[in-house]
Structure 1
């Protein structure tokens, strides 16, 4: 069995580990070797030959020629990485839009992937949870430099760790998804319901990795704690607060925070090798409670295309708070760094998501006002590279060669039994 559970990853050493688990898995068996042809609908503002990107926006017209190039690149990634199905949305004002679905949403019956399907979005949930927190900051109900001990008891270093440290992945708290007992509990019973406190208990039995603010280390524990802060300061359950104060004001009609394994239809089936057997299985109906504030949400292409700009430009926040959000801790790799529940990778601002069966990528390039969303129904990595990273790199390499979304490949990690 190959799990990334046993080894922590640091953002400053490469923020390739931004999914719900601590790091990408090692190479996995391909789910599909030959992706079926695309189910597509595309529009373009022009049909002329591919022009060079303009100096002002550095983004090309999404002509049929560019669309054909993108088609080839995406299908190449599918074949190389064994991705069953993927949906892509790419657009910029005045440049047209590229909307495509390739492959299968359900490999058992050969149902095609399509843009309207619901998908689990994993760690993109963090952008919603941290937005909720920052709204409370704007309302004066919490402060970014408040210690977490003001809101949650029993946190190691709780009197030193601030909400800012948590939102920016600078707390030093152990990532509960890296705990061996957690991995066994999840994979032995994927239907199991986890409470936030149970998730924290997996983390708190481990020593802190460093003093608050000393390093950047991605940890789902941080966002679970922020979810509890939102509940306490907001006066209602997290899923209700996010629905009322984030999802609805953002105009998102197909985005939800489930409290059980219920999955709106129509949805794509998701395939993972993060299983007790180590074999690829259908993880569609796994209970997402174990991700909670860090990774439980569901959405679709339409909503995530809208959310990309909303979260990157701070539509729901004051300019001052958004400016705080976008301050990144340098990652020292191909990316610029991690802010408050958001990253900057070569100018693309947003987040990715990964949980068993699904990966996603939602990013926005401010200088071109360009939006890219990629949703896929597998989290199986190949050669240490997450499929979302492969797609992001291939697509941005074509349309924004000066701003290529990329994370370094990570070596396969040993299973807990091997460490």
Structure 2
């Protein structure tokens, strides 16, 4: 099996296996009617002491242990910075800096989940409405609901585990993919199970959810997320791109997925999720996002409770059509929410693809947020190295509440 297939299969498996800039946006300046510019995202001034030193020491050691080229991180508690920092290089001779932008992948599916719950609160949709109402040509659209797309219980195969898709992606990493092409791979297979009766992660769910949100609101997805998520939260450095463009300054990525160590920064990410939600960000926005999503800041209390468990607990039963590598048991301690992961009290998302790895994690009981992004060196470890670093930070700062027990 090629390395790109192995890497993407590991990413898809990681999501299943895992299931075993601070404060509110500034108010407009008095008398101007305009928002002041956001605070710059910069490393904390040194020398680091206390928890800040602990975090940086953990990151430095992990950089050596895991063969990481760059680590960018931010930790906040009670909305206040514990530490922001950057280690290593973006490119040879170019130091990584805290304000560099990277691809944030599945973080945007948590945003889509929040938008869906906002629309439910506004009585514009019901979670159990069939998607055929907005996507009438979708096979099984009468059986699959909005909840099933957002909770990944539709039964649709994941195209990221389809050998034909993986071969096409490996052959042409700069290819621009369309939603129709992506969803065509799972639709070539029968459903893994009757919709709503089991759980298995599928990227196709979120491609379809993005299309449904556009139909429901009549607003293009990138604008919808900007209006309902990024603007209210002050995520000024988080943006969609319909091309492989990344905001400046760029944290460059490298990978050995195609059996040779090469730059992958501008490989086309159009396959990763719905058009309009293919975002890049910086670590300050990622930490702010961790707090907002993890605390349900943009949701009603009822919507927040649903986001943490839309009915997935108790699902994930391996069957002949859905083997254990795909269908994983969901428990109250570790399960998939509405576009997010709930793990031992932490609420997180953990994207990893094309040489980039990130995590946003929030522990409501401690008001502790951890945001990490990493890139790989030539001998870098497989898997999400940002997640590994976040786990170690959580162990140090909240020893009674590890992310992974």
Taking structure 2 as the reference length, what is the TM-score of the superposition? 0.82
Following the alignment from structure 2 to structure 1, what is the Cα–Cα distance between the partners of residues 130 and 377?
Answer: 35
Tell me if 1:199 matches 2:202: no
How do 1:22-171 residues align onto structure 2 when only pairs under 5 Å count? 40-42=43-45, 64-93=49-78, 97-106=82-91, 109-171=92-154
Following the alignment from structure 1 to structure 2, what is the Cα–Cα distance between the partners of residues 8 and 101?
Answer: 24
**SS at 1:377 equivalent:** strand
How do 1:198-347 residues align onto structure 2 when only pairs under 5 Å count? 198-275=181-258, 278-293=259-274, 296-327=278-309, 329-330=312-313, 331=329, 336-347=334-345
| Unmatched tracts of structure 2, length 5 or more | 21-41, 314-328
Q: 1:381 to 1:388 in 2, by over 3 A?
A: farther
- Alignment correspondent of 2:347: 349
Per-residue CA shift, 1:39-67, capped at 9, x if unaligned? Answer: 952579xxxxxxxxxxxxxxxxxx71433
Q: 1:324 to 1:90 in 2, by over 3 A?
A: same
Give 1:82 shift: 1.0
- Alignment correspondent of 2:374: 376
Per-residue CA shift, 1:352-384, capped at 9, x if unaligned? Answer: 111212111111111111111001124999776
**SS at 2:142 equivalent:** coil
Q: 1:124 to 1:8 in 2, by over 3 A?
A: closer
Give 1:7 shift: 8.9
Q: 1:366 to 1:247 in 2, by over 3 A?
A: same
Following the alignment from structure 2 to structure 1, what is the Cα–Cα distance between the partners of residues 342 and 155?
Answer: 21
- Alignment correspondent of 1:35: none
Q: Please, what is the CA RMSD of the aligned residues?
A: 2.8
Taking structure 1 as the reference length, what is the TM-score of the superposition? 0.79
Following the alignment from structure 1 to structure 2, what is the Cα–Cα distance between the partners of residues 162 and 148?
Answer: 5
Following the alignment from structure 1 to structure 2, what is the Cα–Cα distance between the partners of residues 301 and 6?
Answer: 26
Following the alignment from structure 2 to structure 1, what is the Cα–Cα distance between the partners of residues 206 and 377?
Answer: 21
| Unmatched tracts of structure 1, length 5 or more | 18-38, 45-62, 408-419
Contact kept? 2:334, 2:343, Cα under 8 Å: yes
Per-residue CA shift, 1:296-349, capped at 9, x if unaligned? Answer: 211111211211111122222222212111126345579521110111112111
Q: 1:12 to 1:75 in 2, by over 3 A?
A: closer
Following the alignment from structure 1 to structure 2, what is the Cα–Cα distance between the partners of residues 389 and 304?
Answer: 14
**SS at 1:252 equivalent:** coil
